[in-house]
Every structure is written in structure tokens, then in C-alpha cells.
Amino acid sequence: METKVPFYNIVNIFLPGLVLLGSSVLLFFDEVKTLVQSIANLGSTGLEILVTVSLFAIAYEVGYIIFRLGSAAIEPLLKKMFGWAEYSDFIAAGKTSEKAHDKLEMLSREYGYARTQITLFIALAVLTGVRTQWWFMFVCILCVGLFTLTARGHMKKTQKAVKQYLPASCGES
């Protein structure tokens, strides 16, 4: 069985999950150290491989939750703050040419990545606040701001591209 994971899923789902898990290990180091030592005390039973594979699966699932939270909670906020092209106009503009389709697909992908990063850094800010790591929390909040500006830029470019490529017969929304 051949399984291919799209690059978009790796970047937008798996990596944010790994970042959150890795950051959690740093934030909860003593607890994780105790867990790792208890696993190591079992000896070489092959359990290490199971734990490693499980951690990769957990990272993917955590990343998927971050991705979905971004879609369900962050996206409506971004749309209210910065506006968004109507989905039907987006689709119609993408059908006008290969160039339009490629440009809109790239902008949509970049926007989705920024949205996921906003969600990731909000989660990290909460975790760092719980652990009273204020400097790390400050960095996370700065990253939320940075990726919010990035998302805004991609949203504005998308709106402009939709207007540019939207067939005149479709009208303005």
C-alpha cells in the first residue's frame, strides 16, 4: 500500500502539531522527563518504536485540531476584520484561466497557512501563560500579530485577484 501525504498537509497540519507538542515538552519538561524515564525503565521491548509512531500520530491529530480551530474560530474573525471575496466569485474567477486558478490557489494556501499559525501561537500563548513563561508568551503574541498581518495581506491580494479575474458577466459582489 502506497500512502502519499500532500505537502500542504505536512506544512499546515503535521508541522503545527509537532511545534505544539515540542513546545509542550519544553514547557512541561519535568513531567515529560518522568514519563520518558518510566518508558526507558521497561527496557528494550520495542515500546520505543510504538511510542515514537504514536507521537507522530498524535502530532498529526493535534495539528489537525489546530487547523480546524483556525477554520472554525479564527477565519470568521479574520473575515469580519478584513473582508473576504464571496466564495462563488472566488470559484468563478478561478475558472477564467489557468493563471487565475493558480494565483488564487496559491493565495488561498498561503492564507490557510497564516490562519493555522495564528491558531497555533494562540494555543502556545495560553500554554505559556499557564506555565508563567511570560517572555515566551510575549513572543507568541507577537507571532499572532505577525501572522494576522500576513493573513490580512493574503486576504487583500485574494480580493484584488478575484476582482481582476472575475468575468464581467458575474457582476460585482
Domain count, the chain: 1
pLDDT, residue 173, reads 45
Helix count and strand count (H, E) for the chain: 8, 0
Top pLDDT among 42 and 135 is at: 135
- Nearest Cα to Cα of residue 104 among 118, 93, 120, 88: 93
What gap in Å lies between CA 166 and CA 131, rounded to an integer? 49
Q: What is the tens place of the pLDDT at every residue in 16-65?
A: 999 999 998 888 888 888 877 777 666 666 677 777 888 899 999 999 99
Residue 1, pLDDT > 70, answer no
pLDDT, residue 66, reads 95
The answer to whether position 107 is within a domain reads: yes
The answer to whether position 46 is within a domain reads: yes
The answer to whether position 2 is within a domain reads: no
The answer to whether position 1 is within a domain reads: no
Torsion angle, CA of 33/135/11/115, rounded to 10 degrees? 130
pLDDT, residue 42, reads 65
What gap in Å lies between CA 162 and CA 147, rounded to an integer? 22
Q: Which domain holds residue 16?
A: 7-170
Of the listed ranges 47-61, 112-126, 143-157, the one predicted with least confidence: 47-61
This prediction has a pTM of 0.83
Residue 140, pLDDT > 60, answer yes
Local confidence band at 124 (pLDDT 50, 70, 90 cut-offs): very high
